[in-house]
Structure 1
Amino acid sequence: MSAVGNSPRWLAVEALSKIKNGAYSNLQLNQLINQHHMDRRDINLLTNMVYGVIQHRLTLEYWLTPFVRHPNQIDPWVRELLLSALYQWQYLDKIPKRAVFNETIEIAKVKGHPGIRRFVTGVLHQMDRTGLPDFDAIEDPDERLSITYSMPIWLIDELRQQLGADKMQSIIASLNQPAKQSLRVNPAVSDVADVTAALTNDGLTVEPSEISPLGLVVTDGQAINSEAMQYGMFTIQDESAQLVVPTMALAPGDQVLDACAAPGGKTTQIAAALDTDAGGQVTALDIHASKVRLIGQNAARMHVADRVNATELDARKATAEFGEAAFDKILVDAPCSGLGLIRRKPEIRYEKALQDSLNLQKVQLSILSAVAPTLKKGGIMTYSTCTILQQENQQVIQKFLAAHPDFECLKTTTDRNLKADRDDLTLSIYPDDYLSDGFFIACLRKK
């Protein structure tokens, strides 16, 4: 294979073809980065191209369509090659068009046959000559928004109905910005100042999170490869996700149930607030043995394994397993559509439909109802999701409270008093609020 076969552009086309067939973008990227020895610049270009093409896929396909007469007759990888060329040309201003076109044609030549090289060359030159189609030519306003921001029309429509046109547009525009690299300091072994110093000494640029007291945002460098990460001084976690555990008002001796715990980010955060001398313990559930092992590994790395009991169990069987009134606090970080994570997992936007949220609502309610008896009177059950639709958030809480009059909703508060002037008792963090993940948190007390 020629040198072009190891280039970030070649690998991006390989990754995009597999992701289009159902592979996860983050796993696919990690696999390629581990298999090929690349410097940081090449890793950055590969990551940027893969996420960029997925993020802007509807836009890129709109631009490509007029130049491909028989779309069903071209190989899927050739399509991904042309979309990635378009992405670089239109969105990456530091790469000259000549370099983009030359390497795209070179990949077509090496990976394909002479006919493919001629086809790719012809499409690129025709685009250059005639220019790309304008969004203003799209008459339907929702379709125009969908193509401009590469968002499905159903999601645009649903967000507009729930939050209004301005907030909807602000959210969908923000979701194409790059995700922040954020981490949560582990108070079991370290503090914000020590982690900041350790990462700065490693040449990273770090700043404090504006929304989480234990949060740091890395603006330059890769924290995941640092010694401080290996030692468990911190874990990679979005700023919004860090807000959930502090709302539980944990006491050092609490018995806590983490009902949907894998991979254990919030489990270790709970455990760091507990004290074994006071009898504090978190029971962390997942239905898959492999994920239970992952929780255990995370707990060990974060030096809190003595406070974590990782258990393979469906949360809906909790009462049969643990009996009634077994726990002081419960966290239900429920399985959800993940629409608040579109920045990190851009393919989610094309894979989900409104029906998914309605189906998940039933699962979420069943978990809440199943674990509710295991909570002591006066105890708090925190419900959280990483989605932004009311079907999985406010509606779940309303339906749960209607069926369980022995529970009441408390106002969700955060250390930094986020959105303190809101009317809702629950807390919704939208992706455009702080450029963190979309999240929902509700605190329910058993009367």
Structure 2
Amino acid sequence: MSDKRVYSDNPRVLAVQTLAKIKNGAYSNLQLNQVIKQHQLSEADKRLLTTLVYGVIQHRLTFEYWLAPFIGDKKINPWVRELLYTALFQMQYLNKIPQHAIFNESIEVAKILGHVGTAKFVTAILHNISRQGLPEISAITDPILRLSIEASLPVWLIEELVTQNGEAATRALVATINDAPMQSIRVNTLLASDDEVVAALAAENLTAVKSQVADHAYIVSGGHVASSTVYQKGWLTLQDESAMLPVESMVLTPAVKTILDAAAAPGGKTTQIAQAIAADAKITALDVHPHKIKLIEQNAARMQVSDRIQTQVLDARKVASEMETTFDRILVDAPCSGFGLLRRKPEIRYDKTLADVQNLARLQGEILDSVSQKVAENGMIVYSTCTILRQENDDVVARFLANHPEFELVKTVTSHQLKPDRHEAVLHIYPNDYHTDGFFVATMKKKSGTPA
């Protein structure tokens, strides 16, 4: 951060300050929400602030490449680098702002957060960029490195995606990774019908378009859903369309009475299960963190399904040793690297390593091993992640099945019969398939005659 303690409602100043904090480890969404709450900003300024922050995070490696020849080996203050990135973002991606305005505003921010010398330095860099132009990414001869810089994804992740999916499929996938995420909702059918929710949203000037991916799901535009009356009443919840698919695949018939949600926070899927089960069925929802259990309980209370959910603080790896009950259905929406969520959490691309992915895969396997001991005869485990890497998906499932012959992999089914012609039983949803988050779902059934 700048050494100067500056309070400003200028969205460009706030963007640079916010980016510097995120670079130091703050979460983008939490930091941005905090800044918006603390400052008196117009709706236009809130939009500009949000666009600048997410835009710079999404394209950081691209900007680093473009700026390198102009900076050379000069040591510059980190916030100055973030300021130059915001200028590059506006120049390259926001075509409604003229270049002279971008330059003037950026130099003004340099004066506010720094001093005259900083402003002169920023002025010189921006004018050099204007005169010389930015280096061409197409000049990079290594195809992996070129795609890494184009998409602003680390080289190791590009290598993994190409190895697993091929170069053409990887290009198609990463081409959409920096698009703005859509705002999607799930209707709480226990309290309202789809038509009632759509009408209630329209009354608050929000437009809802039916999802092609999941049942009782809609894409909403025109405003902030979480601020709506219909949200506060519990008639709907915010949930990505692909995140609804694991529960759809659980086959929650009236005969299903006991359900375990093994890693349940913040409770989106728990409440989805609650609205799909019989009134006398019970869900046990676990999380290892007490504060996250509170999130599940708050979600359940808002959606008026608390009577169907029992929460418990427990590490899912201890289910076998700590729990007596057996379950007809177990959902393991496993802790994962989250690479399916890059549109919503763009900074995770820079934080995670291949070693992290491998460690998570071990954790996921341990959770499956533990909960599998509490599946009732003919019961099912649905395993899901919000990542697109096979180490945490197919490989985890393959190892589990090799060690647990009492389970068989069955085809994952969804309400809209997504990818019906696929040759594999598991379901891979990539961000470019339906413009949703990336997700993976596997369904494993316990064979008859194998008691818990």
Q: What TM bracket, shorter-length normalisation?
A: over 0.9
Letter paired with 1:6: D
1:219-266 deviation digits (Å, cap 9, x = unpaired): 332112111111111111111001110110113452100000011110
| Counterpart selection for 1:272 from 275, 292, 308 | 275
Q: Please tell me whether residue 259 in structure 1 is matched to residue 262 in structure 2.
A: yes
Residue 143 (structure 1) shift: 1.1
Which residue number in structure 2 is paired with residue 243 of structure 1? Answer: 245
Q: Please tell me whether residue 282 in structure 1 is matched to residue 283 in structure 2.
A: yes
Which residue number in structure 2 is paired with residue 436 of structure 1? Answer: 436
Q: How does 1:209-248 map to 2 (within 5 A)?
A: 209-248=211-250
Which residue number in structure 2 is paired with residue 30 of structure 1? Answer: 33
Q: Tell me, yes or no, if the aligned pair for 2:6 and 2:113 is still in contact at 8 Å.
A: no
Residue 3 (structure 1) shift: 11
Q: Tell me, yes or no, if the aligned pair for 1:206 and 1:220 is still in contact at 8 Å.
A: no
Distance of 1:248 and 1:347 partners within structure 2: 32
| Counterpart selection for 2:148 from 146, 149, 155 | 146
Distance of 1:97 and 1:405 partners within structure 2: 64
Q: Please tell me whether residue 310 in structure 1 is matched to residue 311 in structure 2.
A: yes
Letter paired with 1:15: T
Residue 273 (structure 1) shift: 1.3
Give % identity. Answer: 53
Q: Tell me, yes or no, if the aligned pair for 2:6 and 2:112 is still in contact at 8 Å.
A: no
Letter paired with 1:362: R
| Counterpart selection for 1:99 from 79, 98, 101 | 101
Letter paired with 2:374: T
| Counterpart selection for 2:46 from 36, 43, 47 | 43
Give secondary structure in 2 for the equivalent of 1:244.
helix
Distance of 1:196 and 1:3 partners within structure 2: 44
Which residue number in structure 2 is paired with residue 416 of structure 1? Answer: 416
Give secondary structure in 1 for the equivalent of 2:249.
helix
Distance of 1:166 and 1:56 partners within structure 2: 21
Give secondary structure in 2 for the equivalent of 1:179.
coil
Which residue number in structure 2 is paired with residue 376 of structure 1? Answer: 376
Count of residues in Structure 1 that have an aligned counterpart in Structure 2? 443
Letter paired with 2:296: I
Residue 193 (structure 1) shift: 1.4
Which residue number in structure 2 is paired with residue 353 of structure 1? Answer: 353
1:330-380 deviation digits (Å, cap 9, x = unpaired): 000001010100111011111112221111111001000101111101011
1:276-325 deviation digits (Å, cap 9, x = unpaired): 3xx2111000011111111111100011000010110111121233226x
Give secondary structure in 1 for the equivalent of 2:33.
helix
1:37-87 deviation digits (Å, cap 9, x = unpaired): 22222211111111110000011111111111344x211111100100110
Change (3 A) 1:345 1:2: closer
Give secondary structure in 2 for the equivalent of 1:6.
coil
Distance of 1:244 and 1:432 partners within structure 2: 19
Give secondary structure in 2 for the equivalent of 1:344.
coil
Which residue number in structure 2 is paired with residue 14 of structure 1? Answer: 17
Distance of 1:94 and 1:196 partners within structure 2: 33
Letter paired with 1:356: D
Distance of 2:317 and 2:135 partners within structure 1: 52
Unpaired stretches in structure 1, ≥5 consecutive residues:
none
Residue 270 (structure 1) shift: 0.7
Unpaired stretches in structure 2, ≥5 consecutive residues:
448-452
Distance of 2:42 and 2:121 partners within structure 1: 32
Distance of 1:103 and 1:135 partners within structure 2: 27
- Using structure 2 for the length normalisation, give the TM-score: 0.95
Which residue number in structure 2 is paired with residue 53 of structure 1? Answer: 56
Letter paired with 1:415: S
- The more displaced of 95-104 and 81-90 is 95-104
- The more displaced of 19-28 and 211-220 is 211-220
| Counterpart selection for 1:169 from 167, 171, 175 | 171
Distance of 1:241 and 1:258 partners within structure 2: 14
Which residue number in structure 1 is paired with residue 134 of structure 2? Answer: 132
Distance of 1:114 and 1:157 partners within structure 2: 44
- Using structure 1 for the length normalisation, give the TM-score: 0.96
Which residue number in structure 2 is paired with residue 387 of structure 1? Answer: 387
Which residue number in structure 1 is paired with residue 450 of structure 2? Answer: none
| RMSD of aligned Cα (Å) | 1.5
Q: Tell me, yes or no, if the aligned pair for 1:275 and 1:307 is still in contact at 8 Å.
A: no
Residue 2 (structure 1) shift: 12
Q: How does 1:55-70 map to 2 (within 5 A)?
A: 55-70=58-73
- The more displaced of 282-291 and 243-252 is 243-252
Give secondary structure in 1 for the equivalent of 2:175.
helix
Extract structure 1 runs of 4+ deviating beyond 3 A: 1-4
Letter paired with 1:235: T
Q: Tell me, yes or no, if the aligned pair for 1:4 and 1:10 is still in contact at 8 Å.
A: no
Letter paired with 2:383: Y
Letter paired with 1:217: I
- The more displaced of 39-48 and 52-61 is 39-48
Q: Please tell me whether residue 425 in structure 1 is matched to residue 425 in structure 2.
A: yes
